[in-house]
């Protein structure tokens, strides 16, 4: 029989469900994702570091966990909240259940809660910090939850503990998810790698599919740490540089902004998500925190150069301030839900960015053309 589990939000609201995954407590910024599939990619996406993720789709874990759908080396979320999880997945490639996967890596989950109600609260109040605990954990306290009075006492202790932890926006999560050393992505491809197209990917919290897609286009691909200097990167003789997605507030990452500022104009650069924000800040733009962010695989974005609308995969809580763009930098894509900037280009420099995930995983593959657009810029620059 499962233990009762609780999600306590910083506004004092409490949601009771059942524990699954690891028998431990956890805290983080509570956010929601509207995708219908792709929970394994969500769990292993480094952009979710420091966050408790709620999936709005009610049935999760139906196809289990497999060896192919990892987007990083481990689970990155701080906790996982679902309406219902499958204990008996059905898929030929499945190697474990969702519960077993979370438990194996020490990540707490809670199921049986009204995820729709929590999402509505976050949409109206904005994202906030949260704490997950269960009857079996000794944090915030080993209180037996046998009455409303003891439940209230345990929740008050959880809320007090939550008030003492760092806020999500005060932590540099990039340093906890980036690679420690440069490495090449040497997975075999049908297209031979060209040394003329050596592409560096600055790992701010990259998803493996960025490396897969570049390698599949014939590039020699190498990931480098977020702490690498401009000199370190240029010493590797790249034909172009991709600034990857990642977690956290770009305003905390001035060391990355400074590095990118020193790279601009030397080689073509593509920024994705956090990379887009970092590149924009390095050119003088401002960023701001969204009320509840964009997370899921169904966000409409318009490419202003063609007028075409793409359905995109997104995962970000911050955005570039379109009113702060300096001379020479212009928006190329906009979000049709709220009008926020979703892409940039520079009129004179080989620079392009997008706020959403051209690499998808999960999500539609409609925007992979942006990698082709970047590589055209790389080849034009080389010519």
- Reported as a single tens digit per residue, the pLDDT across 202-243 is 999 999 999 999 999 999 999 999 999 999 999 999 999 999
Please tell me which residue, 142 or 287, carries the higher pLDDT value: 287
Cβ atoms of 279 and 253 within 8 Å: the answer is no
Annotated catalytic, 219? no
Tell me the angle at which helices 274-282 and 254-261 cross, rounded to the nearest 10 degrees: 70
Annotated catalytic, 261? no
Topology alike, domains 4-170 and 174-382: no
Q: How far is CA 38 from the centre of its chain?
A: 13
Mean pLDDT across the chain: 93
What's the CA gap between 191 and 371, in Å, rounded? Answer: 15
Burial category of 357 from C-beta neighbours within 10 Å (exposed 0-12, middle 13-18, buried 19 and up): buried
Fold held by 174-382: Rossmann fold (3.40.50)
Candidate list 99, 219, 273, 316, residue with the active-site label: 273
92 contacts: CB under 8 Å, gap ≥ 6:
none
Percent of the chain with pLDDT strictly greater than 90 = 86
Q: Sketch the domain layout of the chain as residue ranges.
A: 4-170, 174-382
Annotated catalytic, 359? yes
| The pLDDT of residue 152 | 76
pTM to 2 decimal places: 0.94
CATH class of the domain comprising 4-170: alpha beta
- Report, as an integer, the average pLDDT of 44-54: 98
- Report, as an integer, the average pLDDT of 9-35: 95
As a 3-state breakdown, the chain gives helix, strand, coil percent values, each rounded to 5, of 25, 30, 40
Cβ atoms of 44 and 78 within 8 Å: the answer is no
- Report, as an integer, the average pLDDT of 357-362: 92
- Reported as a single tens digit per residue, the pLDDT across 293-348 is 999 999 999 999 999 999 999 999 999 999 999 999 999 999 999 999 999 999 99
- Reported as a single tens digit per residue, the pLDDT across 137-193 is 655 444 444 445 566 777 888 889 899 999 999 999 999 999 999 999 987 777 888
What's the CA gap between 83 and 355, in Å, rounded? Answer: 29
């Amino acid at each position: 029989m499962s233990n009762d589990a609780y999600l306590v939000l910083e506004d004092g609201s409490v949601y009771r469900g059942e524990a699954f995954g690891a028998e431990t407590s956890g805290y983080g910024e509570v956010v929601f994702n509207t995708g219908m599939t792709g929970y394994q990619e969500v769990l292993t996406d480094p952009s979710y570091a420091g966050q408790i993720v709620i999936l709005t789709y009610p049935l999760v874990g139906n196809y289990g966990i497999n060896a192919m759908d990892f987007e990083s080396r481990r689970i990155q979320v701080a906790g996982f909240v679902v309406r219902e999880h499958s204990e008996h997945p059905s898929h030929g490639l499945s190697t474990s259940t969702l519960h077993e996967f979370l438990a194996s890596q020490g990540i707490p989950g809670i199921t049986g809660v009204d995820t729709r109600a929590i999402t509505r609260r976050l949409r109206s109040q904005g994202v906030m910090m949260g704490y997950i605990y269960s009857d079996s954990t000794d944090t915030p306290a080993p209180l037996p939850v046998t009455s409303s009075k003891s439940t209230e006492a345990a929740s008050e202790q959880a809320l007090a503990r939550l008030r003492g932890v760092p806020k999500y926006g005060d932590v540099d999560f990039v340093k906890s998810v980036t690679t420690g050393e440069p490495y090449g992505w040497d997975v075999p491809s049908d297209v031979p790698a060209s040394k003329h197209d050596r592409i560096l990917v600055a790992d701010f919290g990259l998803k493996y599919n960025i490396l897969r897609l570049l390698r599949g286009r014939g590039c020699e691909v190498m990931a480098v740490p977020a702490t690498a200097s401009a000199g370190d990167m240029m010493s590797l003789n790249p034909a172009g540089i991709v600034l990857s997605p990642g977690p956290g507030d770009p305003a905390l990452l001035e060391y990355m902004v400074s590095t990118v500022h020193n790279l601009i104009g030397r080689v073509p650069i593509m920024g994705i998500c956090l990379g887009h924000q970092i590149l924009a800040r390095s050119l003088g733009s401002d960023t701001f925190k969204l009320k509840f962010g964009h997370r899921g695989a169904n966000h409409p974005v318009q490419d202003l150069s063609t007028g075409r609308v793409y359905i995109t995969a997104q995962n970000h809580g911050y955005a570039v301030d379109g009113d702060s763009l300096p001379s020479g930098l212009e928006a190329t894509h906009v979000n049709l839900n709220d009008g926020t900037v979703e892409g940039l280009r520079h009129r004179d420099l080989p620079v392009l960015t997008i706020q959403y995930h051209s690499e998808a995983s999960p999500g539609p593959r409609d925007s992979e053309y942006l990698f082709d657009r970047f590589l055209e810029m790389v080849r034009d620059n080389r010519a």
